[in-house]
Chain A
Amino acid sequence: MTDVANQPLETETTVTISVDGAEVSVAAGETILTACTKAGIDTPTICYGPTLTPVNACRVCVVELDGSRTLVPSCSRPAEDGMVVQTDSERVRHSRKMVLEFLGSGVDLSEADDLRAWSEQYGADPTRYGPAAERMNEDVKVQDDLYVRDYDKCVLCYKCVEACGDDAQHTFAISMAGRGFGARISTEFDVTLPESACVYCGNCVAVCPTNALQFKTEFDLRQAANWRPEDQSVTTTVCSYCGVGCNLELHTQDERIVKVTSPNDHSVTSGNLCIKGRFGWQYVHGDTDG
């Protein structure tokens, strides 16, 4: 049996759009974001992930589309022939600045390097809302030895929910709960992760853009003021547990594994792992206390 869906079409349909005055052609079905990237334009994204279904919730990737009353999210809007798109108009810059400013006014972005860089680039000034502006105000949840949830850093981008659910793991341990500014990522009734359906694959942590979710190893090193990414090296290897052949990236600092990831573009994992590959590395160190 040949897999028809995976065969290249004889004549691949392309669409051509104008991005900031330049003509760009992409395959039919691709998004405006893809066209922007192809045109060499960097677009800030928060809730978008290459392995996830767009939820277009953060609105930082918006662009101006001729004929559209409102700005449109480039991450999810399919490119159509003849579209004329502006990515750096005053309206676009304003919305991007305000989204980043809004997030900075209520969320701890201290470990969200990309968001901080974009905030500076777009001139976001979260102090405009004054010290009384309501914030997330969440305590760190440390409920096990594998990962930590610090929702004070959460921008509610849905990525972890998607990774736990339809887009990767199909575990559905977490969901958006509540409404409005009170919305939070939560298990049912906020039960602890060990009580929930969580299987500790860590795929939620892998997609988090702000470090609201982080591995306990990283959290402990940060608490000890000893998290030094500049001193870390990454070694690519293959998981030793089963025959699937997942690629692992072992992040090491001071000759010890501090984090395990998998590349998004790996054909087997798409960035996802299971609890064994993600956390079952203590034996490498030979520690007797696990």
Chain B
Amino acid sequence: MADLHLTEARASASEAAAIDAAIGNETAVVVETERLVRGGTARRHALRHLLLPALHALQTESGWISPGGLNHIAEVLQVPPAEAYGVASFYEMFRVDDPPGHDDDVVHVCIDPACRIAGAEDRIAELEAAGTPVHRSPCLGQCERPPAVFIQGRRKANSVPADDQPFALPQAGDPALRLLRRVGVVDPTSLDSYREHGGYEALTAALAMGPDAVLTALTDAGLSGRGGAAFPTGVKWRAVRDASGADERPAQKRPIQKHVVANADESEPGTFKDRIVMEHDPFALIEAMTIAGVTTGATRGWVYIRGEYPQATARLENAIAEASAAGLLGDDVAGSGHAFHVEVRRGAGAYICGEETALFNSLEGFRGEPRNKPPYPTTNGLFDQPTAINNPETLLNVLPIVLDGPDAYRAAGTDGSPGTRLFCVSGDVAAPGLYEFPFGISLGELLGAAGGVTGGADPQAILLGGAAGMFVTAESLDLALTLEDTRAAGVTLGSGVVMVFGPQVDLADVCARIAEFFRNESCGQCVPCRVGAVRQHEMVVELGAKPISADQRQLHDDMVQVMADASICGLGHTAGSAIQSAFDLGLLGGSR
């Protein structure tokens, strides 16, 4: 008995079983004598982090979020059904509308730029002609092998057809590789193989150094975040280590429980670097997270991975199981006395959940809406606790810094941008794929390493940093790819996206799709982004390849400014930047 009101709909036996299996042995404890309101609120939060796993289970079992299934979830987790529905309806991978054909697998085909110019619509037409309904999906993180397909299984695991193809890294065997040196070399399913290739030497070193020395090394190395914001990692980790919690939450008496989160919700169109690393060197991410844990004092680690990455998910789960069995995770990490436990949680199709505070809300079982900052995650992060949240690529950099020291690390890169960077090269190049180069390589050199532009011509445009980044043209081929040079040029490296558009590409179509992407991916919480992204898309579609009038350009500038100035989070701040750059360069709305 509880104070929840549920409709009459009841779960089928198979739905209930699937949900219960996903939730495990956790059941809400309802104390009948407690004060209903206060007790209800506490219950409403206690198991809520299991909402997303439960919804995944129901979707897989039934092909949609059925009312009866939702009621069952609401009851066992003690989450109000309206709120559970609000969460389910937020995600691309959950259907709440009793779709026709929900007995079948759902075939997602990516329609974002790299796949679009590689014939995504042709692939969709083929599939539909063969009687397969297709879900047109935003970027699936497979831009190096377009058009990307992802299959959401009904009563079976999700899958990616391209995962059956043999994998080869373009730079395989290059001794200069740091972050990718094991990728394609190590057996990603074997802890023994990982150890044979230097695995867990960094953790041993970090434990011997102690937290302060690790933090100093990170700061001296100048490591900054690779997710797009380039925040200094050493500063972030030290803030988490120093967070006492007492000042931040005087009203709460909960004990401090610090967290490490790997933000593997890689969804920026054009980005696939974290997927490849997690698929082919998963232990490295787990080892780096463990170092983060023992350094910051966090005892819980979470990998929030996008739902469209089944192989990376499976390999990370295997890595966690093997590391735990070997005593490298658990209550006593490698005999050090430190506890550190890691769990993998899958997103369900929402670009916004890569925003760190939206990710926290999503993981906690709330809608993936960003929180206002401050307060920042280092004091008020996951479950309102001090949290170190990092991009997987950032975490990977910790291993060579700890092992070889900051001076060796700084031997690559520039003073302002030390180290190496992963570049996701896609589009019209001869050899699309994941590349690692020291910061400072020029854009033209990078394209040369990727075999040059298809057909040998100059590119018409290059999208730097993803859909949230900016276009440049062939005039920028000498641009040095560093934080400081891109900043000076008014562009961004973002998540390392370098998407190349050859002379034949219809850029008006590409821009319309970028605008549509933001229209669809805005969470809808704040007015500037919710409405601005729609109005921008409407304008770009209406404009097509026509020249833009002065009034339209003024209106567009007005929209971009309010989105950048007044949106809650980075999605809104950058949603207009790629289109704006296309206008500025005359790629769109001009006389070219």
Are A188 and B84 in touch, CB under 8 angstroms? yes
Interface residues of A in 153-206 (CB under 8 A from B): 155-156, 165-166, 170, 172-183, 186-189, 191, 195-197
Is B555 among interface residues, defined by CB-CB distance under 8 A?
yes
A197 lies within 8 A of B525 (CB): no
CA distance A275 to B84 in the complex (A): 25
Residues of B within 8 A of A187 (CB): 82, 85
Given A98-B558, A102-B532; A180-B527 close (CB under 8 Å): no
Tell me if A24 counts as interface (CB < 8 A to partner B). Answer: no
Pick the contact of A57: B86, B558, B568 (CB < 8 A). Answer: B568
Complex CA gap A59/B566 in Å reads 6
Please report the C-alpha to C-alpha distance between residue A128 and residue B82 in the assembled complex, in whole angstroms.
Answer: 36
- Which of A94, A103, A181 contacts B565 (CB under 8 A)? A94
Among A56, A181, A186, the one with the most B-chain Cβ atoms within 10 Å of its Cβ is A181
CB of B239 to closest CB in A, whole Å: 18
A196 touches B82 (CB 8 A): yes
Contact across chains for B522 and A134 when beta carbons are under 8 A apart: no
Complex Cα distance, B71 from A189, in Å, reads: 11
Task: Find out whether the CB atom of B41 lies under 8 angstroms from the CB atom of A102.
Answer: no
Give bound CA distance, A159 to B354, whole Å: 26
B526 contact set on A, CB distance < 8 A:
56-59
- Chain A residues closer than 8 Å to B82, beta-carbon distance: 172-175, 177, 186-188, 196-197
Q: Is the CB of B527 within 8 A of A102?
A: yes
Q: Complex formed: what's the CA distance from A85 to B67 in Å?
A: 49
A183 touches B530 (CB 8 A): yes
B274 at the interface (CB under 8 A from A): no
Asked if A181 and B534 make an inter-chain contact with CB atoms under 8 angstroms apart, the answer reads yes
Flag whether A95 is at the interface (Cβ < 8 A).
yes
Least CB distance from A144 to B in Å reads 16
Q: A102-B528, A188-B67 are in contact. Are A94 and B367 (CB under 8 A)?
A: no
Which A residues are in CB contact (< 8 Å) with B528? 59, 95, 98-99, 102
Chain A residues with Cβ below 8 Å from B559 are 98
**Is B123 an interface residue when CB atoms closer than 8 A count as contact?**
no
Count of B residues near A, CB < 8 Å?
52
Tell me, in angstroms, the Cα distance from A189 to B40 when the chains sit together: 22
Query: Do residues A195 and B531 form an inter-chain contact, with CB atoms below 8 A?
Result: no
Query: In the bound complex, how far is the Cα of B534 from the Cα of A133, in angstroms?
Result: 9
Tell yes or no: B439 within 8 A of A by CB.
no
Residues of A within 8 Å of B, CB-based: how many?
51
Could you tell me if A179 and B350 are in contact, using CB atoms closer than 8 angstroms?
A: yes
Find chain A residues with CB under 8 A from B525 CB: 55, 57, 176, 183
> Measured between C-beta atoms, what is the minimum distance from B145 to chain A in Å?
28
Q: How far is the CA of A155 from the CA of B525 in the complex (A)?
A: 10
* Binding stretch for chain B, among A12-20, A69-77, A220-228, A280-288: A69-77
Contact B566 A99 (CB under 8 A): yes
In the complex, chain B residues whose CB is within 8 Å of the CB of A165: 80, 83
Taking a contact as CB atoms closer than 8 A, the residue among B5, B86, B521, B538 that contacts A134 in the complex is: B538
Q: A59-B567, A156-B524 are in contact. Are A94 and B561 (CB under 8 A)?
A: yes
What's the least CB distance linking B280 to chain A, in Å? Answer: 32
Q: In B520-572, which residues have CB < 8 Å from any A CB?
A: 520-528, 530-535, 538, 542, 555, 558-559, 561-562, 564-568
Flag whether A4 is at the interface (Cβ < 8 A): no
Q: Which residue of B lies closest to A129 (CB)?
A: B535
- Asked if residues B83 and A172 are in contact (CB atoms below 8 Å), the reply is yes
Residues on A with C-beta less than 8 A from B561 are: 91, 94-95, 98
Report the separation of the CA atoms of residues A103 and B527 in the bound assembly, to the nearest whole angstrom. 7
Q: Is A109 an interface residue (CB 8 A)?
A: no
Known contacts being A172-B83, A177-B85, is A94 close to B538, with CB within 8 Å? no
Binary interface encoding of chain B residues 19-52 relative to chain A, with 1 for a CB under 8 A from any of its CBs, else 0: 0000000000000000001001100100000000
Residue of B nearest to A198 (CB): B5
**Pair A133/B566 contact, Cβ less than 8 Å:** no
B70 at the interface (CB under 8 A from A): yes
Please judge, given known A-B contacts A71-B565, A99-B562, A191-B7, whether A177 and B89 are in contact too, CB under 8 Å: yes
Produce 1/0 per residue, B250-268, CB < 8 A to A: 0000000000000000000
B41 is contacted by which of A57, A91, A166, A177 (Cβ under 8 Å)?
A166
Query: Please, which residue of chain B has its CB at the minimum distance from the CB of A106?
Result: B531
Contacts of B70 in A (CB 8 A): 188-189
Q: Contact: B538 with A197, CB < 8 Å?
A: no
Measured between beta carbons, the chain A residues less than 8 angstroms from B86 are 175-177, 186
Known pairs A172-B82, A181-B519, A195-B7; list 10 more (Cβ under 8 Å). A58-B527, A70-B564, A76-B372, A95-B562, A129-B555, A132-B538, A166-B41, A172-B83, A173-B82, A180-B522
| Cβ-closest 6 pairs across A and B | A175-B86, A172-B80, A183-B524, A197-B5, A102-B531, A98-B562
User: Which B residues form the contact surface with A (CB < 8 A)?
Assistant: 4-5, 7, 37, 40-41, 44, 67, 70, 80-86, 89-90, 96, 350, 367, 369, 372, 519-528, 530-535, 538, 542, 555, 558-559, 561-562, 564-568, 573
Which A residues lie at the B interface, using CB under 8 A?
A: 55-60, 62, 70-71, 73, 76-77, 91, 94-95, 98-99, 102-103, 105-106, 128-129, 132-134, 155-156, 165-166, 170, 172-183, 186-189, 191, 195-197
A-B pairs with beta carbons under 8 Å apart, 25 shown: A57-B525, A57-B527, A62-B566, A70-B565, A71-B566, A91-B561, A102-B527, A102-B531, A102-B562, A155-B527, A156-B524, A156-B530, A165-B80, A165-B83, A174-B82, A175-B85, A176-B367, A177-B90, A179-B524, A181-B531, A183-B530, A186-B82, A186-B86, A187-B85, A197-B81
